[in-house]
């Protein structure tokens, strides 16, 4: 794929951590406006679209807290910087709190937030997305559009962005090591 309009919305601090190679893992149950009221992976190759509205420093591990400023509900920037895209290599599901606790070293959220996300919609599994992230050659600053707002995971941008010239954030071995560790943890649940 040389261009895409498909974007995945995630907290700006999580997008930053992914883009810097600090994590490869996102936890998801879905936004309020998800299709069929549950999380589904709509696309495997996605632009990482940073959001700001629901970020709260107290929900993050200490090393990420001071990098987040809380904003008022409904706030968004005039332009949104798109710096990276990802290939979702694995979509895993967990249903056991013990498995979630063992995943703590692999994501940016504190135990309370991870546990709360796990408990929300208790009949649905928690999805683990493992992302192989690529940095775009240049940051693209997109004008914010009202249709990009709302509590949902997926948006389609008005214009396609080129992925050509992108560079992987992590080398193959650096990526595969945590992937295998996370797969092994999830495998023990089943």
Closest CA to 133 of 182, 89, 102: 89
Mean pLDDT of 157-178: 97
Q: Is the pLDDT of residue 70 over 90?
A: no
Q: Is the pTM of this model over 0.85?
A: yes
Mean pLDDT of 158-187: 96
Spatial contact of 158 and 146, defined as CB atoms under 8 Å apart: no
Tell me what pLDDT residue 23 has.
97
> Cα–Cα distance between 162 and 137 in angstroms, integer?
10
> Cα–Cα distance between 69 and 101 in angstroms, integer?
27
13: CB partners within 8 A, 6+ apart:
55, 60, 64, 67, 68, 108
The residues that bridge with 129 in the sheet, in sequence order, are 26, 91
Homologous superfamily in CATH for domain 3-187 = Hypothetical protein. (2.30.130.30)
Q: Is 44 helix (H, G, I), strand (E, B) or coil?
A: coil
> Cα–Cα distance between 116 and 128 in angstroms, integer?
15
For 105-115, the pLDDT digits (tens) are 999 999 999 99
For 34-64, the pLDDT digits (tens) are 666 677 888 999 999 999 988 899 999 999 9
């Amino acid at each position: 794929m040389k261009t895409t309009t498909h974007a995945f919305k995630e907290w700006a601090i999580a997008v930053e951590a992914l883009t810097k190679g600090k994590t490869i893992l996102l936890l998801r149950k879905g936004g309020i406006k998800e299709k069929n009221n549950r999380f589904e992976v709509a696309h495997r190759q996605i632009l990482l679209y940073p959001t700001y509205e629901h970020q709260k420093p107290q929900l993050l591990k200490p090393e990420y807290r001071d990098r987040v400023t809380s904003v008022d509900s409904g706030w968004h920037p005039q332009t949104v910087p798109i710096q990276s895209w990802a290939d979702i290599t694995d979509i895993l599901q967990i249903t056991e709190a013990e498995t979630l606790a063992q995943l703590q070293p692999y994501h940016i959220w504190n135990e309370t937030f991870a546990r709360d996300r796990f408990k929300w919609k208790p009949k649905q599994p928690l999805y683990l997305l493992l992302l192989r992230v690529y940095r775009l050659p240049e940051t693209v600053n997109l004008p914010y559009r009202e249709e990009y707002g709302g509590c949902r995971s997926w948006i389609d941008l008005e214009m396609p962005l080129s992925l050509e010239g992108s560079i992987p954030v992590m080398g193959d071995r650096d990526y595969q090591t945590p992937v295998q560790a996370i797969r092994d943890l999830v495998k023990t649940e089943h």
